[in-house]
Amino acid sequence: MLIQKPNDISPSEITSPEVYRERRRFMQGMGVLAAGAALGVAPNAHAGIKLAGIRDSVYKLNEEQTPYKSVTTYNNFYEFGTGKSDPADNAGRFKTRPWTVTIEGEVGNPGEYDIDSLLKLAPLEERVYRMRCVEGWSMVIPWVGFPLHEIIRRAAPTGNAKYVEFVTLHDSRQMPGQRSRVLDWPYVEGLRLDEAMNPLTLMVVGLYGEVLPNQNGAPIRLVVPWKYGFKSAKSIVKIRFVEKQPLTAWMKATPNEYGFYSNVNPQVDHPRWSQSRERRIGEFFKRDTLMFNGYGDQVAQMYRGMDLKKFF
Amino acid sequence: MPIFLRNPKFWIAVVCLLPLARLIAFGFSGGLGANPIEFITRSTGTWTLVGLMVTLAITPLRRLSGWAGLIRYRRMLGLFTFFYVCLHFVTYIWLDQFFDPAAIVKDIIKRPFITVGFSAFVLLIPLAATSTHAMIRRLGRRWQQLHRLVYAIAILGVVHYLWLVKKDLTEPLIYGAVLTLLLLMRLPWGVVLLQTIRNRLVSAGAWQGSFQQNRKSG
C-alpha cells in the first residue's frame, strides 16, 4: 500500500502566495470577461475569503440584515465615483496589499502597522449595526472588526490628544474618483477622542464574515454607527492624534451642510432636505429616523449640555 | 405597409415610450438595483428634463434647417414630457411618500428642491391642458403668451436638479448649459445667428433639399 508522506511534495511545487494571487487575479479577469459583466461585479483580490476566528459580540442588532448584494453594490465611496454603483464598478482592481496604517501625532507610541498585523491586533468580532446615510437611506450590516480603542490604547495618546483624524488613501491612479475635484483629496474624517474611545466605534476589516470588499473600504475602515455614514472613513492609511478639531473633507466642501459631529438626528434637518425619516434599503415604506440612529443609550451622555442644532 | 407605420408621429411615440419600457423591463428583471424607488424617481426626472430640452430645441432647429414641418411634432414631444413628469410626481407621491399628505406638504415647503420641482410641475399643467386645437383657437394670442411659461418651467427643472444633488454638479450643469444655449437662440441676436449659419450652409451647397423646399413655399 502506498502511503504518501507530506514531504512527497517538494517545496518548489508549492505555489507561493504571490503567484497564487496573480493566478487568481488572472482567472478572475477571465471570469469577468465571461460572466462578470452579467453579474455586475468586478474582481476583488481578497473579498469573499472567509475570516477565521470571528467572535460573537453583544452588539448584534436583531433586525433584518440588508442583503450582501445591496451592501456591496449600492454605497457612496467618492474615491471611485459619485454614483451609487461606481464603487462596485471601479474598485475591483484596487490593491489592498501591501498596506500600512500610520499612527502619528500626539501619541507615546507612534508607528506603522502592517495590515496583516492589524488583523491580529485584537480578536475579530461580528457586530450588526444600523447604517444611516445622510442622503436618507439606511441599511443593517454585519461588520467584522475590532474596537478602535484597541489601537488607541496601544498608541498611548498624550494629554494634548483631543481629537483623532482619519485619512483615506490618496492615489488617483487606483481611485479614479480622485481625478475629479468633487472633494479636496485625500478624504479626511475625525472624531473627538471620547467618541473614538466609545466601545461602539469599530475598525472594520470584514463584512458578512468575509474579507471586506474593496468597494466598502478595504482593507480597513472606520464604522461609527450613531453618525451619518460619511463619518465612517474608508481605506484608511493614517490615524493622527491632534489637539485641534480636524477639518473634515465634507466640512471643507460645504461647511453649512456638514458639521464635525454629524450625529444622526431626526430633529436637525440637512439644509436642503429633511432627516426625520429614512428608507431602509429593501423596504417599501419609509421609517422614522431614530435619535443617534438608535444608539442613544450608549452615546447620548457624550453630548450632554451641547446644543446639537449648533454642533450638527 | 399599414398607413400608421409611415407616420413619423408613430415612430416618435415609440421612441418616447422607450424610457418607460426600460423601467418596466428592469422592474421585472431586478435591474432597478438596491433602491428601486430612487432609481424610478431619478429616471423619470431625467427623461422629463430631456423631454423639455428636446421640445425647446424644435424652434431653433426649425430656424436652422428651414424645415417648417418640424413644428408638427412639438406638441407630441411636449405632451410626452408632461407624461414623464406625471410619472415622476406619482412616484414621489405614491412610492416615496405613500400618500402621506402631512409629510408631502412639509416636504414641499421645507425642501427647496421639492418646492422648485413642484412649482415646475404645477406650471406645466395649464400648458398640457391647453394643447388641443380647440384651446389654441380659443386662446388666440394669449395661447402663445401662456406657453412661454415653458422657459421658466425648464429653468425651474434644472434648478430642481442642481439643488438635489449632494455634491457632484456635473450632470445638472450639463442640462443648464444646454438650456442656456436653447434660450439664447431665442433672443433676437440668437435668431439672427441661426439665420446667418443657415445662409452660409445653404450657399455652401449643404441643405439642398430644404433650401429648395423653402424656395417653393416662400
**In whole angstroms, what is the distance from residue B189 CA to residue A202 CA?**
62
Closest Cα of chain B to A88: distance in Å? Answer: 12
Partner residue facing A82 (CB), from B111, B164, B168: B168
Chain A positions touching B111 (Cβ under 8 A) are 272-274
Chain A positions touching B95 (Cβ under 8 A) are 284
Closest Cα of chain B to A249: distance in Å? Answer: 12
Is residue A32 scored above 60 in pLDDT? Answer: no
Is residue A17 scored above 50 in pLDDT? Answer: no
Chain B positions touching A40 (Cβ under 8 A) are none
The pTM of this model reads 0.81
Assigned C-alpha cell, A247: 477639518
Closest Cα of chain A to B145: distance in Å? Answer: 33
* Residue ranges per structural domain of chain A: 17-46, 53-303
Chain A positions touching B38 (Cβ under 8 A) are 137, 279
A274: closest chain B residue by CA: B111
Query: Could you tell me if A264 and A290 are in contact, meaning their C-beta atoms sit under 8 angstroms apart?
Result: yes
Partner residue facing B107 (CB), from A182, A274, A279: A274
Beta carbons of A84 and B35 less than 8 Å apart: yes
The pLDDT tens digits of the residues spanning A103-155 come to 999 999 999 999 999 999 999 999 999 999 999 999 999 999 999 999 999 99
Is residue B57 scored above 90 in pLDDT? Answer: yes
Is residue A29 scored above 50 in pLDDT? Answer: no
A82: closest chain B residue by CA: B168
Nearest of B161, B153, B209, B202 to residue B182 by alpha carbon:
B153
Q: What topology does CATH give the domain A53-303?
A: Sulfite Oxidase; Chain A, domain 2 (3.90.420)
Element (H, E) at B100: none
The pLDDT tens digits of the residues spanning A189-239 come to 999 999 999 999 999 999 999 999 999 999 999 999 999 999 999 999 999
Query: Could you tell me if A38 and A54 are in contact, meaning their C-beta atoms sit under 8 angstroms apart?
Result: no
**In whole angstroms, what is the distance from residue A132 CA to residue A263 CA?**
10
**In whole angstroms, what is the distance from residue A276 CA to residue A265 CA?**
8
What are the φ and ψ backbone dihedral angles of A288, each rounded to 5 degrees?
-70, 140
Assigned C-alpha cell, B119: 412649482
Average pLDDT, integer, range B63-75: 91
Residue holding cell 498608541?
A155
* Residue ranges per structural domain of chain B: 18-186
**In whole angstroms, what is the distance from residue A160 CA to residue A175 CA?**
34
The ipTM assigned to this model is 0.74
Question: Which pLDDT score is estimated for B212?
Answer: 47
Question: Which pLDDT score is estimated for B209?
Answer: 52
Which are the contacts of A70, defined by CB distance < 8 A and separation ≥ 6? A139, A281, A282, B34
Chain A positions touching B110 (Cβ under 8 A) are 269, 273-274
